[in-house]
Structure 1
């Protein structure tokens, strides 16, 4: 589903992928337009909430960590 820019409660639908490392962890691929729209960058922390319908809600909870590079 492609959201309409500037609307409230935008939704993106993605398919989670098994991390295939035996942990049961999942990879949630986030589309570039989602990252851009809500200003996510590497180092941001997200909260994951499972909804009654089985979907997941991701919420940005912090600013990115600053990493010093040589």
Structure 2
């Protein structure tokens, strides 16, 4: 992870009664990574850090 860029964000309650959390991702992070609203992300915890990665989406073949 040392050669990777890191950002800090905070979790907040979704406020919909679900108990879910929302993480607001910084605009500069989205721009640098080429992520867009609606992209699917995978989440993992490594060495006490929460790691987000854009999830690959299987493509359909005809």
TM-score of the two chains, using structure 2 as the length reference: 0.74
The secondary structure found in structure 1 opposite 2:32 is helix
Instruction: Summarize deviations over 1:38-59 as a string: whole Å, max 9, x none.
Output: 0001221100113452x42111
Query: Which position in structure 2 is the counterpart of 1:47?
Result: 42
Show structure 1 runs of 4+ deviating over 3 A: none
Q: Name stretches of at least 5 consecutive residues in structure 2 with no aligned partner.
A: 58-62
Find the counterpart in structure 2 of residue 18 from structure 1.
Answer: 13
Q: Secondary structure at the match of 2:51?
A: strand
1:27 equivalent in alignment to 2:16: no
TM-score normalised by length of structure 1: 0.67
Structure 1 unmatched ranges of 5 or more: 1-7, 64-70
What secondary structure, in the 3-state scheme, does the structure 2 residue paired with 1:36 have?
helix
Q: Pairwise CA RMSD of aligned residues?
A: 2.0
Over residues 12-69 of structure 1, what are the superposed CA-to-partner deviations in whole Å (9 max), with x where a residue is unaligned? 001111101121111100001000000001221100113452x421111136xxxxxx
